Amino acid sequence: MSRVLVLDASRKPIQVCGMRRAISLLMRGKAQMVEHNGKMLAKDFPLPLVIRLRRYVDLRRERPLAPTRRNILLRDRFTCQYCGTRHCKLTLDHVLPRCRGGGSTWENLVAACPECNSAKGSCTPSEAGMELRSTPLRPVDWVSFELSRASCMDGVSACWSRYL
């Protein structure tokens, strides 16, 4: 497991980071380990699962999560939102086509296999006789997005659920 849940000083989840970043925060004294997985990095240093920052972090200044290709594919769990197949070469589809004024927003972009994207063309899903498997929504926040991303890993959701 290479992801670590980061809590602020008041034990609220604020982000999920990589193992390297978590170890760096611990070594510099900026965080303390709350929970570890039992595997050892060094003789007296277990690998962290959950860390807590020693200082308060003001999240109001954080930038919103951008609807990038990677983030859309992660949100849709690498599954075509029209036919439901998992495809290695997914494309992004604008639900309301750009030629009709549809923007590149969380609510208008979905993952689609090349076949479905081609079949839909410059139509809306209803005009093409296709149905979306789920409504495209903006992730509530970065933490919930990261947690849903990491939920496919064994044991993560059980371990982190105490802190959510």
Following DSSP, what letter does each residue of 80-106 receive, concatenated?
Answer: -TTT--B-TT-EEEESS-GGGT--SST
The larger pLDDT score, comparing residue 41 to residue 79, is at 79
Q: What is the pTM of this model?
A: 0.64
Buried b (16+ CB within 10 A) or exposed e, 73-92: bbbbeebbbbeeeebeebbb
pLDDT score, position 154: 47
Out of 38-47, 101-110, 153-162, least confident range: 153-162
Task: Measure Cα distances from 5 to 29, 68, 70, 164 in Å.
Answer: 17, 23, 21, 10
Residue 120 has pLDDT above 90, yes or no: yes
Average confidence score pLDDT of the chain: 85
Domains of the chain, start order: 3-62+140-163 (no CATH), 69-120 (1.10.30.50)
Mean pLDDT in residue range 38-55: 87
